[in-house]
């Protein structure tokens, strides 16, 4: 893409190496604060204790149920752990209608219990009394493996009466209200924790699980002596604890203002949880499309793209009014497209604006806009991962990765590695591995490891 004016316009999305270093410094300081007794209250990244202290060995066996709430879909799963690092999974996706996402907590948990019952009946599991792991992917203060108080909703959920409550209890009560299911809730966990467990099940050197999907978060293995908030009795027998960083909240005390743009501020302002999850809002699938929408709107208005298009005022109107019209998957499709056909890009432009013939130059420009936004996101994830890898400081660290942005974007992995090579201590060799169903397999593994203890 050669157009200097468009490049200048997008400059603020390009994070320089010195800015990267600064974000790195601030991020690692924030993680240390999260872990420390004295500074925890002020930390953005709360580094919650998960009460999971063992990684799987691969020998785990048994049948489990798992629930997965907090991504694009709600899922119920049946997981058979088979030993030899293997698992067999059946699952079903259930919609969570918008009214339920923003309705009452009782409605939400009744919906979950109803889907669970449907699944159990369809698979004739009613008489098996399977233990259940609940992957609940929102920030929770855990008071043990089966008790988790929701701190606040994120990612477009806003159900009344759940914040500060124990989601394990709410689930059990909804199951009891139905009266026809016998299920033991064995564990509540975060999807980042599930991803770490699931990847460690296949590769024992895995130490970090990261989600780059609807939201963004990471969980890692910390030494108990560094986890100041962990009660002493958990430090006697075990050397480690999995920590859910909730790094999506980084930036809430102003630490990211020097790299945030007015577009980030707008995305935040229009969200259900304004002022919070600011790091996440620069990275995750729920927000990247929105960033592109706002940037594209201004770029058209400033005559930087679609310049010769006679109906461009229509485009401007659509982009202005139709919040959410640019889905994050479009970014992946556009960046995956091939020059000079740009077939997918043209399809998207047709779908969005009814545009029949986009010029090659406009397609290239649109791709450049997407690239600037996704590259920035990948760089920020890389900062977080490098911080955790350097903190773990082992010679070889495997990172388990899950989430739609990472999975479907053609270059996200490459962009991340590029930055990680700049920031990770050269003494450490790191590897990224794609997770296989972290939320399901991970939930079963947490439940399995728990029952071993």
* Residues forming the site for ligand GLC (CB under 6 A): 70-71, 137-139, 154-155, 190-192, 211, 213-217, 246, 248, 280
- Give the Cα separation of 414 and 420 in Å (integer): 10
- Give the Cα separation of 73 and 58 in Å (integer): 28
Give 146 or 217: the residue with its C-beta nearer to ligand GLC: 217
Minimal distance, residue 451 CB to ligand GLC, in Å: 24
Give 155 or 365: the residue with its C-beta nearer to ligand GLC: 155
Minimal distance, residue 250 CB to ligand GLC, in Å: 10
Active site residue 155: yes
Give 260 or 297: the residue with its C-beta nearer to ligand GLC: 260
- Give the Cα separation of 329 and 301 in Å (integer): 24
Active site residue 180: no
Give 216 or 331: the residue with its C-beta nearer to ligand GLC: 216
- Give the Cα separation of 12 and 250 in Å (integer): 19
Give 23 or 192: the residue with its C-beta nearer to ligand GLC: 192
Minimal distance, residue 195 CB to ligand GLC, in Å: 9
> Of residues 33, 46, 155, 172, which has the active-site annotation?
155
Give 138 or 430: the residue with its C-beta nearer to ligand GLC: 138
Give 1 or 151: the residue with its C-beta nearer to ligand GLC: 151
Minimal distance, residue 208 CB to ligand GLC, in Å: 13
Q: Which residue is nearest to ligand GLC (CB)?
A: 215
> Of residues 68, 191, 362, 402, which has the active-site annotation?
191
Q: What is the 3-state secondary structure (H, E, C) of the chain?
A: CCCHHHHHHCHHHCCCHHHHHHHHHHHHHHHHHHHCCCCHHHCCCCCEECCCCCCCCCCCEEEEEEEEECCCCEEEEEEEEEECCEEEEEEEEECCCHHHHCCEHHHHHHHHHHHHHHHHHHCCCCCCCCEEEEEECCCEEECCCCCEEECCCCCCCCCECCCCCEHHHHHHHHHHHHCCCCCEEEEEECHHHHHHHHHHHHCCCEEEEEEECCCEEEEEEEEHHHCCCCCHHHHCCCCEEEEECCHHHCCCCCCCCCCCCHHHHHHHHCCCCCCCCCCHHHCCHHHHHHHHHHHHHHHHHCCCCCCCCCCHHHHHHHHHHCCCCCCHHHHHHHHCCCCCCCHHHHHHHHHHHCCCCCCHHHHHHHHHHHHHHHHHHHHHHHHHHHHHHHHHCCCEEEEEEECHHHHHCCCHHHHHHHHHHHHCCCCCEEEEEECCCHHHHHHHHHHHHHHHC
Catalytically active residues, by annotation: 155, 191
């Amino acid at each position: 893409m050669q157009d200097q004016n468009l490049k200048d316009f997008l400059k603020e999305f390009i994070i320089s190496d010195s800015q990267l270093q600064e974000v790195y410094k601030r991020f690692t300081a924030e993680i240390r604060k999260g872990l420390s007794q004295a500074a925890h209250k002020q930390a953005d990244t709360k580094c919650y204790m998960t009460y999971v202290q063992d990684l799987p060995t691969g020998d785990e066996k048994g049948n489990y149920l798992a629930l997965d709430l907090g991504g694009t879909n709600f899922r119920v799963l049946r997981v058979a752990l088979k030993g030899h690092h293997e698992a067999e999974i059946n699952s079903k996706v259930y919609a969570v209608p918008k009214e339920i996402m923003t309705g009452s907590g009782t409605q939400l948990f009744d919906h979950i219990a109803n889907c669970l019952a449907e699944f159990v009946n369809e698979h004739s599991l009613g008489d098996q009394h399977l233990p259940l792991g609940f992957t609940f992917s929102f920030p929770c203060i855990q008071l043990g493996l089966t008790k988790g108080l929701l701190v606040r909703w994120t990612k477009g959920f806003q159900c009344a009466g759940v914040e500060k409550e124990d989601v394990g209890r709410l689930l059990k009560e909804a199951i009891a209200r139905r009266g026809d299911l016998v299920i033991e809730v064995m564990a509540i966990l975060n999807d980042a924790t599930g991803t770490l467990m699931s990847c460690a099940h296949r590769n024992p050197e895995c130490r970090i699980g990261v989600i780059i999907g609807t939201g963004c978060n990471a969980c890692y293995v910390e030494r108990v002596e560094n986890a100041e908030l962990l009660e002493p009795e958990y430090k006697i027998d075990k050397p480690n604890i999995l920590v859910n960083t909730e790094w999506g909240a980084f930036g809430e005390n102003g630490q990211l203002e020097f790299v945030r743009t007015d577009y980030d501020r707008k995305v935040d302002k229009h969200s259900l949880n304004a002022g919070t999850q600011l790091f996440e809002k620069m990275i995750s699938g729920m927000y990247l499309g929105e960033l592109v929408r706002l940037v594209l709107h201004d770029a058209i208005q400033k005559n930087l793209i679609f310049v010769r298009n006679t109906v461009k005022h229509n485009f401007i109107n659509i982009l202005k009014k139709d919040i959410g019209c640019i889905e994050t998957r479009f970014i992946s499709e556009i960046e995956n497209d091939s020059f000079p056909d740009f077939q997918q890009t043209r399809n998207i432009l047709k779908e969005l604006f009814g545009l029949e013939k986009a010029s090659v130059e406009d397609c290239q420009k649109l791709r450049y806009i997407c690239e600037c936004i996704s590259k920035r996101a990948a760089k920020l994830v890389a900062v977080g991962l490098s911080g955790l890898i350097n903190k773990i400081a082992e010679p070889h660290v495997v990172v388990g990765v899950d989430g739609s942005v990472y999975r479907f974007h053609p270059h996200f992995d490459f962009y991340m590695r590029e930055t990680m090579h700049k920031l990770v201590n050269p003494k450490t060799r790191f590897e990224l591995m794609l997770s296989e169903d972290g939320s399901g397999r991970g939930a079963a593994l947490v439940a399995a490891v728990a029952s071993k203890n």
